[in-house]
Structure 1
Amino acid sequence: MMQYIYRENGDAAGFVRGKYIYLMNGAPVGQLNGTRVHTMSGEYVGELYRDMVVDRNLGNRGNIGNPGNPGNVGSPGNPGNRGSISIGYRDVFNKLGR
């Protein structure tokens, strides 16, 4: 089953496949180290929490380095909007596109 990542407004922003995070068009934008989310270059962005990439105010968890490009995996299809949700943490998915 595909794990989608959502924005605060409920729209699907991307998905997880293995240890990578992809945009909905299949382009890789991030990597996972447990629940920690990093850019493809390794910079810490935030935490994966309740299917969102959020700033949980944990400080900077460092740089894990560039793993190389896993390639475009294609679009998995859009699951639709799950509804707006506020979990008390700031949505930082946009930091993956830097």
Structure 2
Amino acid sequence: MIKAYWVTLDNNGFINAWSDSEAQGYFEIKSASELFKKLDFVKVVDGVAEIDEVRRQQVIKEFEVTPLSEIDQLKAQNTELRDTILDLAVIIDSLGGELE
């Protein structure tokens, strides 16, 4: 469904912020609802939001090669450690051990 949205653009002309209501510093466009909130690869052409497929592929490629932040690395390690602890608990329980 096409409806009105308000957006801001980055220096390259790609949408970098969306609003579904009028806001200061934003300008009105028309867009399909499925594009709402998509950033960095949607351009406004003649007042209508359109996906720039070349830029979309660039954004995906950049995301795939971006290394994890330190926080994301720690989150992944925490998940691995939690899974290891759960595996050990199952082993101890299967051996008849007591878990406190």
TM class by shorter chain equals under 0.3
Larger Rg: 2
TM-score, reference length from structure 1: 0.27
Greater length-normalized contact order (CA 8 Å, ≥ 6 residues apart): 1
Greater share of residues in helix: 2
TM-score, reference length from structure 2: 0.26
